[in-house]
A and B are shown apart, each in its own frame.
Chain A
Amino acid sequence: MNEAADVIVVGGGSTGCGVVRDLARRGLDAVLVEKGNLTHGTTGRMHGLLHSGGRYAVSDRKSARECIEENRVLRDIASHCVEETGGMFVKRPEDDEEYFQEKLEGCRACDIPVEVIDGEEARRREPYLARDVEKAIVVPDAAVDPFRLCVANAADAHEHGARIETHAEVVDVLIEDGAVVGVAVEHRSGPGKRVHRKPGTREEIRADYVVNATGAWAGQLGDMAGVDVEVRPSKGVMTVMNTRQVDTAINRCRPKGDADIIVPHETACILGTTDEEVTDPEDYPEEEWEVDLMIETLSELVPVLKEARTLRSFWGVRPLYEPPGTGTDDPTDITRDYFLLDHDERDDLPGMTSIVGGKLTTYRMMAESITDHVCEKLDHEATCDTAEAPLPGSDDFSVLRDYMEEFGVRSPIGRRSVQRLGSRADDVLNGTDPNPVVCECEGVTRAEVQDGIDAAGSDLNAVRIRTRASMGNCQGGFCTHRIAAELAQQYPEPVVRDAEDELYQERWKGQRHALWGRQLSQTMLNHLLHATTMNRDGDPAGLDGDVAFDAFDAGPGTDAASGTGSPDGTAATDGGVDGDR
């Protein structure tokens, strides 16, 4: 297990997954290590806009050009991760006309195809837009599913021989004779798939080169290697609505500001965002005013949002970087560009490069440039094909069409599975019989959940990001236990129980930020279903004390019926049915 690899990539976000795919396709022996599941970091907590570049067309034309270029590439190689929603920059009466014109010119200068439409036409396309929206610039924005995208990149890397280790945290960077030679990793439940209750292990992985793709955490990894990586994490909130009030990505056409974009996603719509510098990428306040700001400000564009039901809110941290000495105060002014920090050049520490900044839309381009860089370091000659080779699931879409015809999966559930799985649909959906629906809100069937479990072990959050199960209206209230039940074929009872608890608690975290109106009713219903009907919270299997079963009613005419148990009415005594919890 401890033989040396060519390259270790630290970080399983869009950047790391893109890099490991590129390395593997160029024939290098690569290992990806990620401390959570794939997309655990910023990538799993972003807005999901596949930028057309329009957003940067005034302030940062280099980024804008990169965006439109990669936007086109991803529609091609990752078609099952992209929904072609289109986008609009809408102007309200109080928004600056001059800026509108600049935006238009900027887009044209960056080769972003645009169309200007008036308010009437904008409302014809998006009926919920405010009456006083004057006009809009139409751009080729799209929605991208970051989860599916990362999983597909990792899967392709794996098919090309890479080793992918999730729940494997780098705890040290190994340095010998002044050079980086590998990393020390703590596996949460041993190498391979995560399984609850499997003990953790430690492993030293050696390699010729280490790529630090830990985004907002890049500074922490830098510290382990004794070098400074000056990332400035900046948090942003996103609020998920229960339906698609709009089917187009709606941007506010003004210079910069909080709460200026709505992106439709699957069954939902996501409002965003804010931009505030934080010190720790994992421990920052998630504040009420941020959620309120989303609803208040964005209802200026789409008034129904004020009354609409929100499902949850979540926050992400941008891995912003600025070269030392720039000294920008306002995080919104920090460039969205990405940087390669060659620690040999910079810090006299050969063997490691950090990649920081950037955005998801340009992840592939970032990966290509760092892979070029690593190949040069390793003297490895190979060309990059990631802009042409489709990702697993996106290859040969005609097969998909045939499949839909052949099996007649036209029901909404079949159609949605096929959208999610792309060309893998055939493989995944065939052979699971019967194939009942497990998550009703999102229409996820047993076959998809089992496919997720095959890939991710008992880690139901990893199953969730692969399938969308538990991400709809009920936020897991009606399906956490069902998803967990699917583990029972492969895993013993305590693993199932722990996995279930973990998913339920995870789903609760985001809902806390949507606790009013209909979502609070839903939360109470979920609480009654799980605590009252199922008694998950008081399950004797999870309590420390033993239960004196004979103190309870055993039916008329039995001893216990009259109650022979402990006098104080409490049946629990010390002991421990299951002390290993």
Chain B
Amino acid sequence: MAIDSDVLVAGGGLAGITAAVAAAREGADVRLVSYKASTLRQASGLIDALGYVPPTEPAKALREGPPTAGRGVDPDEWPDPDGPLADPFAAIDRLPADHPYRVLGADALRDGLALFDDLVGDAYGGSHTDRNALVPTFGGSVKPTARYPRAAAAGLASDDTPTLIVGFRSLTEYDARAFADRLTAAGVPFPVAGVEVEFAEAFRADAKITRTARALDADEPIDGTPAREALSKAVAPHLHDIVDGDGGVDRVARVGFPAFLGDDHAAEVRADLADRLGADVFEVPMGPPSLPGLRLEDRLYDALDREGVRFETGNPVVGVETAADGRVDSVTVSRKGREVPYAADAFVVATGGLVGKGIESDREGVREPAFDLHVPHPDDRYEWFVDDAFGEQPYARFGVRPNGRAQPLDAAGEVQYGNVFAAGSVVGGADVAREKSASGVSLATGVVAGVEAARTAAGAETTDAATEASQ
């Protein structure tokens, strides 16, 4: 039986899911095909919109000329970004002209965030204002973000509540003392101390953090003591660790932990700990595997179900069949070596960027492998980078370039296929990492691509019906 739908979305990350839901809500019959796990399991779970306008001039090199062994950057001279920005929308005009926010308009970001808010409900905070929140990161910094999981809400930095940051001796991701000192150096308005405690050391040294989360979920005994009790006992002696300038002590009123306070019963674990400690409890988002990212992924897949989107994972889109009019008829999906055509009236490419393998490269160049869309990039591989690791890296902006309807453009700036739309990290032009705009770009492009694809499909049907009627 032929596989056919109004809209076919390739890629099941944040962007693909957003596009699929947006298309479904326009009344389209949507199918989503995704290859592997999305980058959500690596992501922090925060939804950034726009936190900085990064400098585009290069950091001052220690030496002139091409890259050489002796050339480096002078750390005292690297230019500061514009930010952190309290208002993401007001800064959009200061981004480069080919940035997706500029191309699609600020309303795309608003619509994307609104759709996200609707999908996750009260699991996330931040929708009550246009303003960014500053959230502590496990690098000991604070970063501007637009939406944050409930688990992180008690940790917002714009608050003078005395804070304790907890680290575990057997966890090497951060040292809580350096973390607290770095927050202080950032000028946070609250007094903060850090402590490294002994917890769950009975687990094998190489146990994954998910192991700890499960132990807290089930409150399973560790060395005889139930996990939650053990954790609060380890932390309790440090609730008075903050010493002020006059030698007085402040009792902390909130405690930050690495983000593995439970998985399935996270809210319950937090509430239980807060109760035992007599202080609010918050999670600091961590690197991969990231529980907040995984929890978000679960929610979004549930939303796909609710919205009636059919989805399958495990099989990649490997190519397209085009019709005579230059539209895409179907995509080819590789199912265990068998190539199966999936037909649709419109398509959304949301296959991710360099990390998600939606954008690929070799020594000769950069390409989008599934639809063979145009990806502008310098011919010379040595122009893909600059000396400063955190500088204006051309590779960070690699991706397809859309028009205002999220249609990818070819090398001549023309729409490549009339019924193909692009969303998420496969879209270039943004340095989402330095801008702190990753999820925002996915949401904004996702909404536009989804809506446009659904409308294009509806138009195609009307045309088909008209043709049939006239015969």
User: B-contacting residues of A (Cβ < 8 Å)?
Assistant: 280, 282-286, 288, 292, 295, 315, 413, 434-438, 446, 478, 481-482, 484-489, 492-494, 496-498, 501-502, 504-505, 508-509, 512, 515-517, 520-521, 523-525, 527-541, 543-556, 558, 560-563, 565-566, 568-572, 577-578, 581
B363 touches A516 (CB 8 A): yes
A534 touches B91 (CB 8 A): no
A549 touches B134 (CB 8 A): yes
Report Cα–Cα, A535/B357, bound state, in Å: 23
Residues of B within 8 A of A535 (CB): 51, 137, 139, 141-143, 436
B43 touches A566 (CB 8 A): no
B63 touches A283 (CB 8 A): yes
Residues of A within 8 A of B89 (CB): 569
Partner of B85, one of A438, A528, A570: A570
With A531-B433, A532-B438 given, can you name 14 additional A-B contacts, CB distance below 8 Å?
A286-B67, A482-B172, A493-B184, A497-B178, A516-B361, A516-B363, A517-B363, A530-B139, A536-B139, A539-B182, A541-B187, A550-B189, A552-B157, A555-B133
Q: Given A497-B182, A538-B143, answer yes or no on A527-B396 (Cβ-Cβ < 8 Å).
A: yes
Q: How far is the CB of A320 from chain B (nearest CB, A)?
A: 17
Binds A, one of B15-23, B26-34, B74-82, B324-332: B74-82
Nearest to B207 among chain A residues (CB) is A436
B139 touches A481 (CB 8 A): yes
A537 touches B153 (CB 8 A): no
Question: Which B346-402 residues sit within 8 Å CB-CB of chain A?
Answer: 353-355, 357, 360-363, 380-382, 384-385, 387-390, 393, 395-396
Residues of B within 8 A of A577 (CB): 185-187
Residues of A within 8 A of B206 (CB): 413, 436-437
A556 touches B128 (CB 8 A): yes
Question: Which B179-235 residues sit within 8 Å CB-CB of chain A?
Answer: 181-189, 201, 205-206
A534 touches B159 (CB 8 A): no
B83 touches A533 (CB 8 A): no
Report Cα–Cα, A548/B132, bound state, in Å: 12
B170 touches A436 (CB 8 A): yes
Partner of A552, one of B134, B177, B438: B134
Can you give 22 A-B contacts (C-beta < 8 A)? A285-B66, A446-B172, A478-B287, A481-B173, A481-B174, A488-B178, A493-B178, A505-B389, A523-B395, A524-B354, A533-B286, A537-B54, A537-B390, A538-B141, A550-B189, A552-B158, A561-B128, A563-B130, A570-B91, A578-B185, A581-B75, A581-B76
A434 touches B205 (CB 8 A): yes
A571 touches B172 (CB 8 A): no
Report Cα–Cα, A534/B185, bound state, in Å: 15
Residue B341 interfacial (CB < 8 Å): no
B436 touches A538 (CB 8 A): yes
The contact string, 1 if C-beta is below 8 Å from chain A, for chain B 267-306, is: 0000000000000000001111000000000000000000
Report Cα–Cα, A436/B203, bound state, in Å: 11
Report Cα–Cα, A317/B87, bound state, in Å: 51
A553 touches B84 (CB 8 A): no
Q: Given A552-B157, A569-B86, answer yes or no on A534-B187 (Cβ-Cβ < 8 Å).
A: no
A560 touches B131 (CB 8 A): yes
Residues of B within 8 A of A556 (CB): 125, 128
Report Cα–Cα, A44/B80, bound state, in Å: 33
Partner of A534, one of B137, B188, B205: B137
User: How many residues of B are in contact with the other chain, CB < 8 A?
Assistant: 104
Residues of A within 8 A of B68 (CB): 282-286
B85 touches A501 (CB 8 A): no
Residues of B within 8 A of A446 (CB): 172
B362 touches A517 (CB 8 A): yes
Residue B44 interfacial (CB < 8 Å): yes
Residues of A within 8 A of B387 (CB): 509, 512
B185 touches A541 (CB 8 A): yes
A493 touches B433 (CB 8 A): no
Report Cα–Cα, A497/B178, bound state, in Å: 9
Q: How far is the CB of A276 from chain B (nearest CB, A)?
A: 13
Report Cα–Cα, A572/B170, bound state, in Å: 37
Report Cα–Cα, A3/B326, bound state, in Å: 84
A534 touches B186 (CB 8 A): no
A435 touches B436 (CB 8 A): no
A538 touches B52 (CB 8 A): yes
Q: How far is the CB of A520 from chain B (nearest CB, A)?
A: 5
A541 touches B173 (CB 8 A): no
Report Cα–Cα, A555/B158, bound state, in Å: 9
Residue B99 interfacial (CB < 8 Å): no
B80 touches A525 (CB 8 A): no
Partner of B159, one of A527, A555, A563: A555
Question: Which B138-156 residues sit within 8 Å CB-CB of chain A?
Answer: 138-144, 153, 156
Q: How far is the CB of B66 from chain A (nearest CB, A)?
A: 5
Residues of A within 8 A of B396 (CB): 524, 527
Residue B70 interfacial (CB < 8 Å): yes
Report Cα–Cα, A572/B83, bound state, in Å: 6
B172 touches A486 (CB 8 A): yes
Residues of B within 8 A of A438 (CB): 172
Nearest to B287 among chain A residues (CB) is A529
Highest count of chain A CB atoms <10 Å: which of B43, B172, B185? B172
The contact string, 1 if C-beta is below 8 Å from chain A, for chain B 308-339, is: 00000000000000000000000000000000
Nearest to A307 among chain B residues (CB) is B362
Highest count of chain A CB atoms <10 Å: which of B39, B177, B388? B177
Report Cα–Cα, A552/B432, bound state, in Å: 20
B82 touches A572 (CB 8 A): yes
A494 touches B205 (CB 8 A): no
Report Cα–Cα, A413/B206, bound state, in Å: 10
Report Cα–Cα, A554/B86, bound state, in Å: 11
B158 touches A569 (CB 8 A): no
Nearest to B184 among chain A residues (CB) is A493
Report Cα–Cα, A234/B206, bound state, in Å: 45
Residues of A within 8 A of B43 (CB): 528, 532-533
The contact string, 1 if C-beta is below 8 Å from chain A, for chain B 34-78, is: 000001001110001001101000000001011111111101100
A563 touches B182 (CB 8 A): no
Partner of A512, one of B51, B67, B173, B201: B67
Report Cα–Cα, A315/B54, bound state, in Å: 32
B132 touches A540 (CB 8 A): no
Residue B123 interfacial (CB < 8 Å): no
The 9 A-B residue pairs with the shortest CB-CB distance in the complex, in nearest-first order: A534-B139, A569-B90, A569-B87, A493-B181, A488-B175, A535-B143, A531-B433, A539-B141, A508-B389
A286 touches B438 (CB 8 A): no
Nearest to B382 among chain A residues (CB) is A288
A539 touches B170 (CB 8 A): no
Report Cα–Cα, A489/B169, bound state, in Å: 11
Residues of B within 8 A of A482 (CB): 172-174
Q: Given A315-B69, A413-B206, A544-B80, answer yes or no on A486-B156 (Cβ-Cβ < 8 Å).
A: no
Residues of B within 8 A of A521 (CB): 354-355, 357
Report Cα–Cα, A558/B161, bound state, in Å: 13
Q: How far is the CB of A358 from chain B (nearest CB, A)?
A: 21
A537 touches B434 (CB 8 A): yes
Q: Given A535-B436, A547-B84, A577-B186, answer yes or no on A569-B393 (Cβ-Cβ < 8 Å).
A: no
Report Cα–Cα, A18/B192, bound state, in Å: 49
A516 touches B355 (CB 8 A): no
Residues of A within 8 A of B138 (CB): 533-534
B361 touches A485 (CB 8 A): no
Residue B105 interfacial (CB < 8 Å): no
Q: Given A553-B158, A569-B85, answer yes or no on A532-B174 (Cβ-Cβ < 8 Å).
A: no
A533 touches B131 (CB 8 A): no
Residues of A within 8 A of B418 (CB): none
Residue B460 interfacial (CB < 8 Å): no
